[in-house]
Structures are given as structure tokens and as C-alpha cells.
Amino acid sequence: MSIQQNLEHILSRIRAAELRAGRPAGSVRLVAVSKTFPAEDVKACHDAGQRIFGENKVQEGLGKIPSLPPDTEWHLIGPLQRNKVRKALEYFTLIHAVDSLRLARFMDTVAQETGKRPRILLEVNVGNEDSKFGFFPETLEKEWPELSSLNHLEIAGLMCIPPPVENPEEARPYFRRLRELKEVLSGRGGATLTELSMGMSHDFETAIEEGATLVRVGTAIFGGRSYAPAS
Ligand SMILES: *Cc1c(COP(=O)(O)O)cnc(C)c1O
């Protein structure tokens, strides 16, 4: 299957999941995750109509960005180090994985200096896994007042990577947890959270049924990755 065929297939599955969930067509946006794949593959996907691409490393993204037309939107989906914040804010329109108050404060300072108000998502460790990045849900609730008062950041929503499961159905409670957390935090004021970035190749339909507005799909579009991505 070509990248174009894969893309068409994924888009039709997204559309079907929207319908099944009683959600308006177009309420879910696809982030095509191009990490480890060359700019030529991204171009093929762009030619097929896709405009949003996700990279999980700033440096790797910067290598591809100049090769794509300016109407391409780049999202950073991987962990962000402080020394990459300036570049990230310059080249990526949405940062999906802001994972600590400390990083958010630092980004707020940089944003103030550069006169920007970047859109970001907060990553939540929905499985409460020790090994994972992201805010523990309880920590996020506790730190929300300060996070939502960082005026130079637009906190647009939440993101998660649930614990690995065999069956997409097992990921459902984690997706639901993220949606509930978004509702709780939005109810407290400070920032209106509209985005839920959740769901990957093997479970994006379940995520859509639970309210995803952004799904991050790599393998099902570009094929298997030949080396394990740093995540
Ligand atoms: C690699 C990656 C994806 C895409 O995963 P696939 O299983 O290839 O669809 C999604 N989100 C993040 C954060 C990733 O690092």
C-alpha cells in the first residue's frame, strides 16, 4: 500500500469513528507522525492532501521543515528539553507534551521574551506509571491554578500516551480519564481546554469515541519504523 492509500484509509476510518460517536465530521484532526521517515515520505503524504505532521524530536523536525511547502503545520509530539524550547516555539505550531510545571514556567518566560503566545498541551500520565513522562493526574489538578495563570502560554488541552495494551478496548478507560480531567480543569476556569490529543495507530478509533480532537498516527500511514523512536 502506498502512503496515499494508507492516508485515505485512515481518514475514512476517522470519519466513520466520528459518525459512530455522533460527532460532527471534521471534529477530529489527523497528525501524521513522520518521525524516522525522510522528507520525501512527508512530501508524498502532503501531495495526498495531509497538512499536519508530528515529529517527536526538534532536531529531526528541523531537518525536514525546509523541504515542505509553507502551508505545512508541524506539531512537536515528543518530550521537550529546555535547551530546545526556543527552536520549538519558532517552528512548531502546537507542542503536545509539556510535562511539568517547571518546563511550563520556562516556556512562559521564553514566550514572553519572544513576544509569542504558543499553543501547548499538557501531557498527563494517565496510567500513573513510574517510568512515564507527564503530570500525574493529582499533580496536574494541584498545579492547575499556577499553570493556567501563565499568561504567555495558551494551554489548549491535554495529551496522553496510555500504558501499552493488547486490545484497543483496554485503552478506553485511560482516554476517558483524560477527557474527564479536561472537563474538571475547564470547570475551574483559567483556561478553556478544547483539545484532546490521544490515540495512535492501534487505538485511534477508541480515542475518537472518547472525545479525541487530535489523533497521532504514524505506523498506519508510513509503515513500520526500522528503529525504535526515543519517546
Ligand atoms: C511515535 C508516536 C506516535 C505514533 O505512533 P504509531 O503507533 O506509529 O501510530 C504517536 N504519539 C507519539 C507521542 C509518538 O511518539
pLDDT tens digits, 3-39: 999 999 999 999 999 999 999 999 999 999 999 999 9
- Range 146-169 average pLDDT: 97
Model confidence pLDDT, tens digit, residues 91-136: 999 999 999 999 999 999 999 999 999 999 999 999 999 988 999 9
- Range 149-160 average pLDDT: 98
Which among 24, 38, 54 is positioned nearest to 200, based on CA atoms? 54
- pLDDT level of residue 82 (50, 70, 90 thresholds): very high
The reported pLDDT for the residue numbered 189 is 82
Own/partner pairs, 16-20, CB within 8 angstroms, 24+ separation: 16/205, 17/204, 17/205, 17/208, 17/209, 18/208, 20/209
Nearest protein CA to atom 11 of ligand 1, as residue:
216
| Residue 190 Cα to ligand 1 middle (Å) | 30
| Residue 33 Cα to ligand 1 middle (Å) | 6
The reported pLDDT for the residue numbered 59 is 98
Domain ranges of the chain: 3-222
Report the share of the chain in percent with pLDDT over 90: 94
The three grid cell numbers given for residue 165, joined into one nine-digit string: 495494551
The reported pLDDT for the residue numbered 1 is 87
58: Cβ below 6 Å to ligand 1? no
Contact 121, 77 (CB under 8 A): no
Any residues with CB less than 8 A from the CB of 17 and at least 6 apart, and which? Answer: 28, 204, 205, 208, 209
Instruction: Give the ligand 1 atom nearest the CA of 96.
Output: 13
CATH class for the domain made up of 3-222: alpha beta
The reported pLDDT for the residue numbered 69 is 98
User: Is residue 231 scored above 70 in pLDDT?
Assistant: no
